[in-house]
Chains A and B, each alone.
Chain A
Amino acid sequence: MTAGASAAMLGRVEAKEDVRPRRKLPLLSVDALLSEQQTLTAVERFSSLHDAGEVPEKHKIYSELLPLSKPGVGQQYAFEVDLDACTGCKACVAGCHTMNGLDEGETWRGVGLLSGGTAETPAARLVTSSCHHCVEPACMAGCPVQAYEKDPITGIVKHLDDQCFGCQYCTLMCPYDAPKYNKRLGIVRKCDMCSSRLENSEAPACVEACPNGAIAIRVVDQQAVIQASEAQSFLPSTPSPENTLPTTRYKTSKALPANMLAADFYAVKTEHSHPALVVMLTLTQLSVGAFVLGFGLEKLTGRALGSPLAQAALACFLAVLALGASVFHLGRPWLFYRAVLGLRTSWLSREALCFGLFAKFAILHGLLLALPNLAQLPLPSALWIENAARISRVGAALFGTLGVFSSVMVYVATKRAQWQAEETGIRFFGSMLLLGPAAVLAASAAPSETPLAMQDVRALLGLIVGTTLVKLALEAQILAHVRDRRQSVKKRQALLLLGPLRTATGWRFGAALVWGVVFPSMWLLLGTATWPVGVVGPLLLLGLLVGEFAERYLFFCAAPASQMPGALP
């Protein structure tokens, strides 16, 4: 080949295949090398040195990091973290991950950073944490299927993986973000303080992995934990201990400066939107609202409004849809029936039970209303049917309302600042009072012997406008917190709503104003007589639903997580 020819083929102009005279390479060895690459020789070659038992390894002495005795009455095991010894290497997290055989990316421990001090004396503390094995575990109280138990002797809060059906309510209940959802298995898993290792005087994985002995297991008096919580002496930038009484003790010989903040203190992160819960909550409230409104107005006016059958049908349909959504929100939906096991402590169980009964009464009511159309069937007397219909209606209204109340309590029980009782109550019962009338209006599209009177429509529209204004006032008041000086939970909420979630916020306020205020007002002023309820009613309901779905989506997304101090995000 001439120099010119080879030069022409160089450079970024890719050489053309056809002009290249290729040297036939004696590359027979490639296959041999590839197969060599697939032969694992390490063990074979070195096995004589590493066969089981041949190299007896000294157990590292962990005795000073492990408890000397079993906990007595009123005592339990607890983590003790020496903040002075922790250097932030995070081996505890990786060690826990490996030695517990967790899935790829699954971690039960985390390391955050507290930073503060002055330019002259800057201060930083790394904070390693996992489950705090609380004296009053919120995860356990919240669990609807009794998948948590607190060991009566060791106090270790254990999660029963096979009992869990994956509702993830514990991840909302725990203020410290300890239970972790595993998508592959559809269940939550968490730290059990390596109880089986501990039982056999072996160090838990994190204790063993820490190069500096910063994590120890101690026996603590539960009374002392309660006292410590009274003194609020947990850690800066950390959820208050009074809620669950976490037992982990963080010790340091140097006083922490007053301005210690978590490294992620100013970061705001959009949380999971839980779409199934958005659908479930909104539609149950609609359904219950339809029932209660229909029932209530009938009692008030002493006459039926619109088509009770259509109302019941709509309510039943949506209730079934909502409950379906809630079931499919579970990691293991086929175990849905376990949901009522936690009735004694869990608002989620109560919610499930109430809505379950609501749906049953509602469906029964609907069927009974439909009965006259099935007169040819051999059925009990008309009076009996009427009574049954009335009772089932009362039952549906009662359990529906209790269900909505339980829904409120499900979130109030998490004790999170953004889900306080007033706010959540106004949101949820507001949706009921907003969507209920809209459903009654929409249902009147169906032919009825008792069509809605003009004043009924006016009353319902008035209710819609009023409720919308109350709800919007509440939500606007959250936005106002963006001016807060302190990075409070409300401010974080506002920052999320006006920042990464501003599109959804726009939809929320836009839809509510248009369909909850402007449209019904115009209807009130211009069209109560002329606008066809059968067309406008369903339209109004759909419009309002858009706004309420957006509201509920933001309820979850703009809810700053409660957690231990985080690292730089």
Chain B
Amino acid sequence: MKHVTLKLKSAVRRLLVKSDGPLTRELLQKPSAFGLGRLPSRTLPDQKTTMTCGFCSIGCGLDVLLKNDEVVGLVPSKAYPVNMGMACPKGWEALTPLKGPGRAMTPLVRRDGQLKTVTWGEALGEMVFRFRAIQEQYGPEAVAWIGSGQLPTEELAFLGAVAKFGLGIVHGDGNTRQCMATAATAYKQSFGFDAPPFTYADFEASDVIVLVGSNLCIAHPILWERICKNPNQPKIVVIDPRATETAMGATHHYAPAPKTDLVLLYAVANWLIAQGKIDQDFISEHTNGFEAFREHVAQFSVERASVATGLPEASIVELAKLIAEGQRVSFWWTMGVNQSHEGVRTAQALINLALMTKNIGRPGTGANSITGQCNAMGSRLFSNTTNLFGGRSFESAEDRAEVAQILGIPVDLVPSKPSLAYDQIIDGILAQRIRALWVIGTNPLHSWINQSHLKDVLARLDCLVVQDLYHDTETARAADILLPAAGWGEKEGTFINSERRISVIKRVVKAPGQALADFNIFRLVAEAFGVDQHFSEWSSPEAVFQILKRLSRGKPCDITGISGYQELDRLGGIQWPLPAGVATGLPEMKERRLFEDGRFFTDDGRANFFFDEPRPLPELTTRRYPLLLLTGRGSSSQWHTQTRTKRSPVLCKLSPQQLHLEISTQDARELGILPNEEVVVSSQRGSLVARAFITPSVKPGQVFLPMHDERVNQLTFAAFDPISRQPAYKASAVRVERGGEIS
């Protein structure tokens, strides 16, 4: 009887309740190819192609899924050696920003104060006319450019070639100055070449992992996951003034006072030397300058470091012991070190620790800079700005002749001095030596330090050309000429990731309107300026890749052994160096580190110890501005100025939509600030309103703001590392007050 009732019930239910129909079928899953499992039938792919992510430098492989040549989805690539099927939300959403609002569809030229739609011919004509006139009147150096670590290597190289060898421009720099200049300079001095020595497998091979100024969890989530895969139950040591997500996931967290890490690292070095925990043989055979370093650090006692950093002496000794006792210690740093007034020396203090303990050239070791942008390394090696192509020097007549010969251009086209750094270009504009600026793929009016000053400076330009995907970035809105560019996913080229892995990006989406790949914009510029005869070989990104191979021959970054894009694609990227004649494709070629033979790239093959006296913060806190403002990444779903990430509704959902000031419980109590209350944060340079997030993760005396809000750099103090010229974003004196209105 019960059975019958049940049957009857379900029959009635079937009659009344629709469990199938068009809405159900929208999401109905069917088995798919490519080992992806079941997917909604309308997004079942018939083809798949792998390309490298265009946000950060981890360089994850992303599988673009296509159906009838249209993109139907994107998933992290399982076969790719970097990420092995994982991606952060930015990776998953990598294609969404391309169809977001704000895309620049046509070239624009400012007429009567308004940006007006023009043809490519008109825009380029205007650019030629203006640049020429400025150069005629004020000299070729009166035009400069700012490029981007988001562009593929071939485009950066072409830009560097066209600008310098074609247009006679001398000064160009990239936004990589804001993130990687310190690491590049430190490596160059210490190792003889800008050569991060590691491979990601080192994360999994270490037994002690020291992360300095790096919020890996948020900034490089997939690398943090590689640490989580480490089977050695490693000691994870985080040195960071904030209790970041990474610090909370670490086994040891040391929070020195901001920018006292140099003292701390010297004291650790001193302790290691005093305790004999160093590798004297390696030091004598493979390094220079250790004795001077030993003498220098002798004055850095644990007590001195304790006073400077605010860490207990026992903690400092504990840290030193961890390093001494580790069998495979790896040191990793990111922007906490790079964006500092003494970043180069701090990075080198880490390099020194690795050298003296022989934690280099072995699995699970290294003094390792984790890069910021997807192609910062391509920019460092081949953008032809600070260095002549392939890590050469503009000052060297030999290098200039060699490059001219390789490229088949007259040697007198190659300038004999390197570019000014980003901040010096800005100073040049202020001094009216530079009158026109060409900004490609970056947004200085959001990202540059002490923003109001930059705004004032850029307003003095006679001509600002901006080349970007979007017409509505802070910088694009200030442009006189806007050139619409195709983005990642709409063009080809190669990136070089943190572990020196070169990999391809592909054209899988049609660019909107008249947007063109930056590569082709440079071709048009060369043609418009009538200098295309020098670049006849630069016909496509892959042709340029072949040129770059020639430029790399015999250099530490030699890639003459890579045949081309097909091979890069087939092997999941290839790490440099790969000189001709070395076999690729062997399993041991998948993950390679440098300096396994103890030979460095200096003339004598030895690494150098570099050091300096620590200097006080350029802007000290005062009674009027008693708090130190730290800035950094807000969340894993935001990228830099958010030019792209803010166009993905999913990424927007995953990040705060209001600006929050992280403030310590103690400071909040003293200032009478309530949770979530609006507060005014002011520095000598500007003020902004944020909501207070009271958290014990920041120390009293410090506050934190994420860098993604365009207002944050109105507060920052423009200090620079004197060697790398990298801005020090993470230490400005500010005041915090209750209330939601700026007085």
Partners in one complex: yes
Q: How long is the Cα–Cα vector from A51 to B506 in the complex, in angstroms?
A: 16
Q: How long is the Cα–Cα vector from A3 to B656 in the complex, in angstroms?
A: 53
Give 12 pairs: A residue, B residue, CB < 8 Å, sorted on A: A3-B136, A14-B110, A23-B125, A23-B128, A45-B566, A47-B49, A94-B637, A94-B650, A105-B649, A266-B676, A567-B654, A569-B656
Q: What are the residues of chain B within 8 A of A145 when measuring CB–CB? A: 17
Q: What are the residues of chain B within 8 A of A98 when measuring CB–CB? A: 73-75, 92
- With A59-B35, A98-B92, A161-B21 in contact, do A115 and B527 touch (Cβ < 8 Å)? no
A568 within 8 A of B: yes
Of the stretches A207-215, A293-301, A311-319, A541-549, the one at the interface is A207-215
Q: How long is the Cα–Cα vector from A346 to B685 in the complex, in angstroms?
A: 60
B3 within 8 A of A: no
Interface residues of B in 538-589 (CB under 8 A from A): 565-566, 569-570
B312 to chain A, nearest CB (A): 12
Q: What are the residues of chain B within 8 A of A11 when measuring CB–CB? A: 462
Closest to A102 in B: B27
Q: What are the residues of chain A within 8 A of B653 when measuring CB–CB? A: 93, 105, 107, 110
Q: Per a CB cutoff under 8 Å, which of A15, A36, A49, A161 touches B126?
A: A15
Q: Are A30 and B120 in contact (CB under 8 A)?
A: yes
- With A6-B136, A98-B75 in contact, do A163 and B569 touch (Cβ < 8 Å)? no
A10 within 8 A of B: yes
Q: Are B27 and A161 in contact (CB under 8 A)?
A: yes
CB-based closest 7 A-B pairs: A105-B649, A162-B21, A42-B506, A101-B40, A94-B92, A57-B35, A266-B676
B29 within 8 A of A: yes
Q: How long is the Cα–Cα vector from A88 to B225 in the complex, in angstroms?
A: 11
Q: What are the residues of chain B within 8 A of A43 when measuring CB–CB? A: 47, 49, 66, 69, 508
Q: Are A37 and B569 in contact (CB under 8 A)?
A: no
B116 to chain A, nearest CB (A): 10
Q: What are the residues of chain B within 8 A of A42 when measuring CB–CB? A: 49, 51, 64, 492, 506-508
Q: How long is the Cα–Cα vector from A105 to B24 in the complex, in angstroms?
A: 19
Interface residues of B in 166-207 (CB under 8 A from A): none
A426 to chain B, nearest CB (A): 31
Q: Are A46 and B506 in contact (CB under 8 A)?
A: yes
Q: Are B24 and A57 in contact (CB under 8 A)?
A: no
* Chain B interface residue count, Cβ-Cβ cutoff 8 angstroms: 132
Of the stretches B80-88, B283-291, B467-475, the one at the interface is B80-88
Q: What are the residues of chain B within 8 A of A52 when measuring CB–CB? A: 33-34, 46-48
- With A42-B51, A99-B39 in contact, do A55 and B125 touch (Cβ < 8 Å)? no
Which B positions have Cβ atoms within 8 angstroms of A? 13, 16-24, 26-29, 31, 33-35, 37-40, 42-43, 46-51, 64, 66, 69, 73-76, 78-79, 84-89, 91-93, 96, 110-113, 119-122, 124-126, 128-130, 133-134, 136-137, 217-218, 221-222, 224-225, 228, 243, 245, 248-249, 435, 459, 462-463, 480, 486, 490-492, 506-511, 514-517, 520, 523-524, 527-528, 565-566, 569-570, 635-637, 649-654, 656-658, 660, 664-666, 674-676, 691, 693, 695-697, 699-700
Q: What are the residues of chain B within 8 A of A383 when measuring CB–CB? A: none
Which A positions have Cβ atoms within 8 angstroms of B? 1, 3, 6-7, 9-12, 14-15, 17, 20, 22-23, 25-27, 29-30, 33-34, 36-43, 45-47, 49-53, 55-60, 85, 87-91, 93-95, 97-101, 104-105, 107, 110-111, 115-119, 121-124, 126, 145-147, 160-164, 185, 187, 189, 194, 196-197, 200, 202-203, 208-209, 211-212, 263, 265-268, 338, 341, 567-569
Closest to A39 in B: B507
Closest to B509 in A: A40
- With A98-B74, A99-B75, A115-B697 in contact, do A40 and B23 touch (Cβ < 8 Å)? no
Q: How long is the Cα–Cα vector from A203 to B36 in the complex, in angstroms?
A: 10
A407 to chain B, nearest CB (A): 24
Q: What are the residues of chain B within 8 A of A97 when measuring CB–CB? A: 92, 650
Q: Are A47 and B121 in contact (CB under 8 A)?
A: no
Q: What are the residues of chain B within 8 A of A268 when measuring CB–CB? A: 676
Q: What are the residues of chain A within 8 A of B462 when measuring CB–CB? A: 10-12
A145 to chain B, nearest CB (A): 8
Q: Are B120 and A49 in contact (CB under 8 A)?
A: no
Q: Per a CB cutoff under 8 Å, which of B23, B39, B43, B48 touches A187?
A: B23
Q: Are B657 and A569 in contact (CB under 8 A)?
A: yes
A444 to chain B, nearest CB (A): 45
Q: Are B523 and A146 in contact (CB under 8 A)?
A: no
Q: Per a CB cutoff under 8 Å, which of A36, A91, A263 touches B86?
A: A91
Q: How long is the Cα–Cα vector from A111 to B49 in the complex, in angstroms?
A: 30
Q: Are A569 and B92 in contact (CB under 8 A)?
A: no
Q: Are A50 and B48 in contact (CB under 8 A)?
A: yes
Q: Are A163 and B17 in contact (CB under 8 A)?
A: yes
Q: What are the residues of chain A within 8 A of B50 when measuring CB–CB? A: 50
Q: How long is the Cα–Cα vector from A550 to B85 in the complex, in angstroms?
A: 52
Q: How long is the Cα–Cα vector from A511 to B174 in the complex, in angstroms?
A: 62
Q: How long is the Cα–Cα vector from A157 to B420 in the complex, in angstroms?
A: 63
- With A119-B664, A146-B13 in contact, do A29 and B523 touch (Cβ < 8 Å)? yes
Q: Are A89 and B35 in contact (CB under 8 A)?
A: no
Q: What are the residues of chain B within 8 A of A194 when measuring CB–CB? A: 29, 38
- With A10-B133, A100-B40, A202-B38 in contact, do A55 and B79 touch (Cβ < 8 Å)? yes
Q: How long is the Cα–Cα vector from A95 to B524 in the complex, in angstroms?
A: 40
Q: What are the residues of chain B within 8 A of A23 when measuring CB–CB? A: 125, 128-129
Q: What are the residues of chain A within 8 A of B134 when measuring CB–CB? A: 10
A401 to chain B, nearest CB (A): 29
Q: What are the residues of chain B within 8 A of A212 when measuring CB–CB? A: 225, 228
Q: Are B637 and A90 in contact (CB under 8 A)?
A: yes
Q: Are A49 and B675 in contact (CB under 8 A)?
A: no
Q: Per a CB cutoff under 8 Å, which of B35, B74, B524, B569 touches A49?
A: B569
Apart from A42-B506, A60-B78, A122-B243, 9 more pairs, CB < 8 Å = A22-B125, A27-B124, A40-B509, A41-B506, A51-B47, A124-B697, A163-B18, A208-B85, A268-B676
A317 to chain B, nearest CB (A): 32
Q: How long is the Cα–Cα vector from A17 to B91 in the complex, in angstroms?
A: 45
Q: How long is the Cα–Cα vector from A493 to B339 in the complex, in angstroms?
A: 44
Q: What are the residues of chain B within 8 A of A53 when measuring CB–CB? A: 33
- With A105-B650, A202-B38 in contact, do A90 and B129 touch (Cβ < 8 Å)? no
Q: Are B69 and A49 in contact (CB under 8 A)?
A: no
Q: What are the residues of chain A within 8 A of B22 when measuring CB–CB? A: 162
- With A89-B217, A119-B664 in contact, do A33 and B523 touch (Cβ < 8 Å)? yes
Q: Are A37 and B520 in contact (CB under 8 A)?
A: yes
Q: Are A93 and B89 in contact (CB under 8 A)?
A: yes
A500 to chain B, nearest CB (A): 13
Which of A46, A56, A94, A267 has the largest number of chain B CB atoms within 10 A? Answer: A94
Q: What are the residues of chain A within 8 A of B700 when measuring CB–CB? A: 119
- With A15-B130, A27-B527, A208-B37 in contact, do A568 and B224 touch (Cβ < 8 Å)? no
Q: What are the residues of chain A within 8 A of B34 when measuring CB–CB? A: 52, 55, 57
Q: What are the residues of chain B within 8 A of A101 when measuring CB–CB? A: 26-27, 39-40, 42-43, 73
Q: Are A161 and B26 in contact (CB under 8 A)?
A: yes
Q: What are the residues of chain A within 8 A of B23 when measuring CB–CB? A: 161-162, 164, 185, 187
Q: Are B566 and A196 in contact (CB under 8 A)?
A: no
Q: How long is the Cα–Cα vector from A268 to B89 in the complex, in angstroms?
A: 27
Closest to A145 in B: B17
A179 to chain B, nearest CB (A): 14
Q: How long is the Cα–Cα vector from A95 to B85 in the complex, in angstroms?
A: 11
Q: What are the residues of chain A within 8 A of B85 when measuring CB–CB? A: 60, 208
Closest to B665 in A: A119
B101 to chain A, nearest CB (A): 12
A428 to chain B, nearest CB (A): 30
B526 to chain A, nearest CB (A): 11
Q: Are A91 and B49 in contact (CB under 8 A)?
A: no
Closest to B84 in A: A60
- With A29-B524, A89-B221, A162-B18 in contact, do A56 and B35 touch (Cβ < 8 Å)? yes
Which of A1, A53, A89, A124 has the largest number of chain B CB atoms within 10 A? Answer: A89
